[in-house]
């Protein structure tokens, strides 16, 4: 049951996302968003009051994707390996899509607005991944790894590739290697046909 208002919001977010990817954060104006969405000033402002609000909504949505709702997936009874496979597939797809990286915009955003929101989202993300890894250790699917090590390696390799793929071409093989390394460290039965 998606309302018309929600549809419009999603449409604005999608169009604005492409603007932030292309121009960073600082150079995007509400006028740009009007132009790319074909909306009037009044129409746009009834949904968002600033590019800051739009950008922050995009960031929040990125960390709240269904595939990253680990608590929810665990409650539904999925295995740790299934949840992790889905999540890593999502990250791998994102890493391969260098044209859609918001790294530059995030950098400019934090320079302009401050780091509070990014810090908060990062903490949520660390907690979230930690829950999943501990769940896998508990079910016996994952090795008894050092949780904070794996979470750090995972999140920062991801961010490193997202940023560097805007600087140099990063091959899909390299991205695959990063994902495989995480799986190799976690999964007790590594390589069940996915290597």
- Tell me which residues touch its own copies (CB under 8 A): 103-104, 106-107, 110, 115, 118-119, 122, 146, 148-150, 152-153, 155-161, 163-164, 166-169, 173-174, 177-178, 180-181, 184-185
- Which CB atom, from 34 or from 160, has the smaller least distance to its own copies? 160
Q: Tell me phi and psi for residue 137, to 5 degrees.
A: -65, -40
Distance from CA of residue 174 to its chain's centroid? 19
**Nearest distance, CB of residue 132 and its own copies, angstroms:** 17
Residues in the chain, overall count? 195
Nearest to 19 by CA among 34, 40, 41: 34
Distance CA 165, CA 168 (A): 5
**Nearest distance, CB of residue 164 and its own copies, angstroms:** 5
**Nearest distance, CB of residue 180 and its own copies, angstroms:** 6
- Which CB atom, from 2 or from 167, has the smaller least distance to its own copies? 167
- Which CB atom, from 13 or from 161, has the smaller least distance to its own copies? 161
**Nearest distance, CB of residue 171 and its own copies, angstroms:** 10
Asked whether the beta carbons of 103 and 20 are under 8 A apart, the reply is no
Nearest to 59 by CA among 106, 99, 95: 106
- Which CB atom, from 72 or from 191, has the smaller least distance to its own copies? 191
């Amino acid at each position: 049951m998606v309302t018309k208002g929600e549809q419009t919001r999603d449409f604005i977010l999608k169009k604005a996302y492409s603007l932030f990817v292309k121009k960073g954060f600082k150079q995007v104006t509400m006028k740009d968003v009007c132009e790319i969405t074909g909306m009037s000033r009044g129409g746009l402002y009834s949904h968002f009051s600033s590019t800051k609000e739009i950008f922050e909504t995009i960031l929040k949505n990125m960390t709240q994707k269904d595939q990253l709702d680990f608590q929810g997936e665990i409650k539904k009874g999925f295995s740790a390996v299934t949840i992790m496979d889905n999540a890593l597939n999502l990250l791998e797809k994102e890493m391969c899509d260098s044209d859609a990286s918001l790294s530059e915009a995030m950098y400019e955003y934090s320079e302009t607005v401050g780091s509070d929101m990014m810090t908060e989202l990062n903490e949520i993300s660390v907690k979230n991944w930690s829950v999943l890894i501990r769940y896998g250790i508990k079910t016996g699917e994952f090795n008894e790894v050092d949780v904070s090590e794996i979470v750090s390696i995972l999140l920062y390799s991801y961010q490193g590739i997202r940023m560097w793929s805007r600087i140099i071409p990063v091959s899909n093989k390299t991205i695959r290697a990063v994902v495989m390394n995480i799986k190799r460290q976690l999964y007790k039965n590594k390589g069940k046909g996915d290597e």
